[in-house]
Amino acid sequence: MSEEFESDSFMFVESERKISKISRESKPFPPKISKFISNSEFDNEWQEKSIFEQIKETSAILKEKKLHSKNQSFCVLGTTIDASGPNLGQILNKLKGEIITFYDKSHSKLLVSVSNAALTNMVEKEPPKYFKKYVSMIRPLHHNDQLSSSFEILLKESEKFTMIKLIPNTSYEQLEEYDSLVRNFLIANNKQIFGETLKNEGLIFVTIDYKTLQKLLYESDFIYRVSQVPKGISEKISSSKKAIKAIPQSFRAPTKKEMPIITVMDTGLNEIIPLNGLIEVRDGYGTTNFDDDNGDDFGHGTPIACLSTFGEERREPISKIISYKIWSQDKPSDSFLGILDGIKKYKDKSRIFTSSIGFPDAELEDVYELDRVIQRENIAFVCSAGNINPNQIENEIRSGNSYPNYLKKYQVMAPGNAISSIAVGSIAKNNSMRGTPLNSIAHEGDVSPYSCCGTKNEFIFECIKPDFVEHGTNLIYEGASVTTQGINGITSYTKNGKVYSGFVGTSFSSPLLAKKFAEILAKYGKQIQNIETLKAIFALSSIKNQSTCSGYGVPRSFTSCNRDHALFIAEGIIPLFDKTEKKTTTIQSDEIYIKVPNSSIEKITLCIVHSDDYKWDSIPSLSTFIEIDAMKTGSDSLVPPNNDQDSLKKTNVKLLKYSFEKKSMEATWRFRLTPKITKRIPTDYIRRTNVRYGCAILLSRKSNEASKYSVTREVKAVK
């Protein structure tokens, strides 16, 4: 698209807030009752007791805790009612508590705070009938909630580097109290604590043994979850290509004083000649050696940093680099902690972060921590989708599971499976000097044979993973073996400063997208407030591929429009609807008005990307989607998009197209954006949630050499 779109700048428009109130009938009372069903054997055994017995035993267990708050405790509830109705509020009022998190998709199993005084009162006097009817289970946190059985087995074998997550969604004062109690306990038991900078996130990192952890869980009631810190892998597919030894001995420093900064969180960075004047900071977590020590002659972090500023063509640099080293061969377990620490440290200097360190053993609950940080800090976190091991590909093909059928067996790797991260897969674009070999696994332009695809997380509904694909390479299947022999890889600089054309893997695809994000920020800077706008621009302008494993396609460099196109940008933050007023629902929407200047415009393409700050889930989840209504002035009816089926999808990206066969598109168009919820959420928590969005709207006309002005100029001329 760089060849097609290259003259007129984007146009930024202000959205208008629309507030409407609609009457509603009160919900019937009492509500429909459904049986609480749990897959936990422990839950089912606990429910054999009466609710009164459960309350008394819960209170007795909590009183035995040595590490506890004077005012509140935490309980797991199993309810029989709709979480979005008023009756859950009754239960919380009785407990004088708040929802901490939901454990399941139906929102029937949840963790809540409980006033110690309220719990004591319920022990002294049986709970009211409604409580017995609506609550099927109330119990303290159990180690089954806090510790997976697989990690428990590993801990029994030897001590592990462990992440302790304190109770989320509590006040800063409470979190500080819990943090102090746990740290004092660990220090008293001679345990070394890491991650001091992440105290405000409620995270404690420690190497701990099973006996000490058992004691901590038994004596406390505010440990939400304990898991092994995911080990990062610096993964790339080996290539037979050799480095080109000849390199320029001098390199022209960037002329721009203000360049966007990309934070590369990887294996470190060497100070090679091509990066002279471009390295803003070299830093790292838990190390003073900031060099790229990937373990071979080529490196990992250095070529990734070079791709993120030069691209594969090694042209003029577009960005400066902060290198934050999070992985080394000696400390692969530092990577996850390093990512969280690096974002916290550099979020005010950099809006684009890229990492090609994957976490194959990370659980969705671990990814949730990172997902919320990315959304809250409003950063673009671009990461690799992950690679399928060539040995696994060989086994798939030998067993008759040919390409591309096997791709979806290998899901996008953490952290790319977080909703807020931007996962980048790979396409087989560059095959060989002589064209595509006959024994290549993929055709040119198709998804690379090693690129991970999809996710098993049903909580993200119809969101697509990976989000995009970038230039990668192919593989050859020859003699029952998978090889890169005769295949060109991605070209970048090695950690020794040499040019090398054999980099293979999604690790080297993701920085190419980070560079394109930086190109936008280099031109428009703070005009773009919401990071979702960057994704919307590229989802709209990408070259689409039929495979669902290619996400929204291959992004094209796109910083301005040619004569026959004009791009509008709109951003905003919209609160969800509010039902707290009796018999009235308040709905807030944003309206975007676009002037289509004349009848030569044949198509409008709209892309909107959003995220939300709903924080009461336990794994990455899509809690909201945006409904889009289009209307053309002069008409009283809504205009449906050509791809109307896509408008109904529950996803964080909507890409809609509008055109008429006979009627003119000329008019002022209004697009109304209304946030909706994907699941039943308690009323009080709906109104606490905000949706942040970025919207890109492209006007297109047929190539019109006879026209005196560009579409952008014609739009600006319309009064």
Burial group, residue 648, by CB count within 10 angstroms (0-12, 13-18, 19+): exposed
Residue type, 79: T
Check if the beta carbon of residue 431 is closer than 8 Å to that of residue 486.
no
Q: What are the CA-CA distances from residue 273 to residues 260, 287, 306, 327 (Å)? A: 20, 24, 11, 23
Distance from the Cα of residue 221 to its chain's centroid: 30
Peptide bond into 437 cis (omega under 30): no
Handedness of CA 480, 481, 486, 492 (dihedral sign): positive
Say what the pLDDT of residue 31 is: 65
Domain limits, CATH 2.60.120.380, in the chain: 11-25+560-717
Residue type, 580: T
Strands 160-166 and 203-208: antiparallel
The size of the chain, in residues, is: 719
Spell out the alpha helix ranges (H) of 163-300: 172-188, 210-219
Peptide bond into 415 cis (omega under 30): yes
Q: What residues contact residue 558 under an 8 Å CB cut-off, 6+ apart? A: 1, 2, 5, 516, 520, 537, 538, 541
Superfamily (CATH) of domain 259-550:
Peptidase S8/S53 domain (3.40.50.200)
Helix (H, G, I), strand (E, B) or coil at 439: coil
Q: What residues contact residue 602 under an 8 Å CB cut-off, 6+ apart? A: 659, 665, 700, 701, 702
Backbone φ/ψ region at 275: left (φ over 0), alpha (ψ -120 to 50), beta: alpha
Block means of pLDDT (10 residues each) for the chain, 719 residues, are 61 95 68 83 95 96 92 95 88 96 91 96 92 96 94 95 95 93 96 89 95 97 95 70 38 59 97 96 94 89 97 92 92 87 97 96 93 98 96 94 94 96 90 63 93 93 96 88 82 95 94 97 95 98 89 93 95 92 89 92 97 95 97 90 93 97 92 95 91 98 80 86
Tell me the whole-structure pTM to 2 decimals: 0.93
Q: What are the CA-CA distances from residue 261 to residues 279, 308, 343, 346 (Å)? A: 9, 10, 13, 10
Say what the pLDDT of residue 234 is: 76
Determine how many CB atoms are found less than 10 A away from the CB of residue 171: 8
Domain limits, CATH 3.40.50.200, in the chain: 259-550
Distance between CA atoms of 385 and 672, rounded to whole angstroms? Answer: 34
Question: Smallest Cα–Cα separation from 181: which of 270, 65, 93?
Answer: 65
Quickly count helices (H) and strands (E) in the chain. Answer: 18, 31
CATH of the domain spanning 11-25+560-717:
2.60.120.380
Question: Smallest Cα–Cα separation from 467: which of 352, 364, 571, 380?
Answer: 380
Residue type, 566: A
Q: What are the CA-CA distances from residue 147 to residues 164, 169, 216, 357 (Å)? A: 10, 20, 12, 25
Check if the beta carbon of residue 263 is closer than 8 Å to that of residue 352.
yes
Distance between CA atoms of 680 and 244, rounded to whole angstroms? Answer: 59
